[in-house]
Amino acid sequence: MIIGFIGFGNVSKRFTEIFNKKNISLITSIEKRSAKTINNIKNSNISVLDGFKEVAQCSDILISANSPKQALNVAKKYGKYTKGFYLDLNNISPKTTLEISKYFKKDNFIDGAIIGNVNRNKAILYVSGSKSQMLIDLNSNDLEVSYISNNIGDASTLKLLRSVYTKNLSGILLESFEIAGKLNLEKELYEILSLTEGEDFKSNSQSRIKNTIKNSNRKTEELEEIIDYFESDLTITKATLEKFKGYQY
């Protein structure tokens, strides 16, 4: 089997490592790539073809892992050359996923969503689409592929729903520990909550808070997209957006 990559950031780098252990042939191109990306590719164990057209033509599975803004263009430009499956791993809304899927035969498009950090011990990939179940063959010690449904958009929707929960969780941690901090009871609040929420509570929560403050601009944008997508069903999430905005820089 041959898997091709368009886009070579964190996601493609990690998947290259994972698939190399399974002896799958991997291909990409350095066509019009940045110096940093070319460096990433050279440091990975992957074959380099002349252009992405060739990559698309030779792939049994063509993976698109780009920035959300490029996702649609990449699909339009190179999707037509592949006879295999097109697996979209971009961090895009279900709306964009459906839009992209129109450029493919229904059976050839797979909606993919990476859950959490791709660099966690075992990366998690959710897939949906009529033939997506096939990707379960890619399961390994480093990758858990979960089949959601035959509906294109379900994997992306689930990722967004997860994000509703996790972003709000960061929001309520910010709010609770802001007050605790003012009252000099931060340490004690971590202790008290660890008793019922589990011993990892403090380290998990501190990393959530730190991560949210550090990336407040991006998190705020992502939350705006979520609110735009689910609209009227959100009450608390809109307040969390206000909280995040207070941390923008």
Q: Which amino acid is at 108?
A: N
**DSSP per residue, 118-137:** TTSSSEEEEEESTTGGGGGG
Q: Is 68 or 116 the residue whose CB approaches a copy of itself more closely? A: 116
Nearest approach, Cβ of residue 195 and a copy of itself (Å) = 6
Nearest approach, Cβ of residue 162 and a copy of itself (Å) = 5
Q: Is 71 or 160 the residue whose CB approaches a copy of itself more closely? A: 160
Can you tell me the distance from the alpha carbon of 208 to that of 156, in angstroms, rounded to the nearest whole number? 22
- Measured over all CA atoms, what is the biggest interatomic distance in the chain, rounded to whole angstroms? 62
How many CB atoms are closer than 10 A to CB 219? Answer: 22
Nearest approach, Cβ of residue 94 and a copy of itself (Å) = 10
Q: Which of 1, 24, 98, 124 lies at the binding interface for a copy of itself (CB under 8 A)?
A: 124
For residue 90, give both structure tokens: 């971009």
Q: Kindly give, in sequence order, each residue whose CB lies less than 8 Å from that of residue 77, ignoring residues fewer than 6 positions away.
A: 52
Question: Which three-class secondary structure state does DSSP give residue 164?
Answer: helix
List the interface residues with a copy of itself, window 197-236 (CB under 8 A): 198, 200, 230, 233-236
Strand order, beta sheet including 25-29? 47-49, 25-29, 2-6, 61-64, 85-88, 109-115, 123-128, 143-149
Q: Is 14 or 159 the residue whose CB approaches a copy of itself more closely? A: 159
List the interface residues with a copy of itself, window 143-202 (CB under 8 A): 144, 146, 148, 154, 157-159, 161-162, 164-166, 168-169, 171-173, 175-176, 178-180, 182-183, 185, 188-189, 191-193, 195-196, 198, 200
Nearest approach, Cβ of residue 164 and a copy of itself (Å) = 5
Nearest approach, Cβ of residue 12 and a copy of itself (Å) = 22
Phi–psi pair at 202, nearest 5 degrees: -65, -50
Q: Is 13 or 159 the residue whose CB approaches a copy of itself more closely? A: 159
Asked if 1 interacts with a copy of itself (CB under 8 A), we say: no
Answer yes or no: are the C-beta atoms of 174 and 212 closer than 8 Å: yes
Nearest approach, Cβ of residue 168 and a copy of itself (Å) = 4
How many CB atoms are closer than 10 A to CB 162? Answer: 14
Can you tell me the distance from the alpha carbon of 5 to that of 56, in angstroms, rounded to the nearest whole number? 8
Q: Is 23 or 184 the residue whose CB approaches a copy of itself more closely? A: 184
Q: Which residues form the interface with a copy of itself (CB under 8 A)?
A: 115-116, 124, 126, 144, 146, 148, 154, 157-159, 161-162, 164-166, 168-169, 171-173, 175-176, 178-180, 182-183, 185, 188-189, 191-193, 195-196, 198, 200, 230, 233-240, 242-243, 246
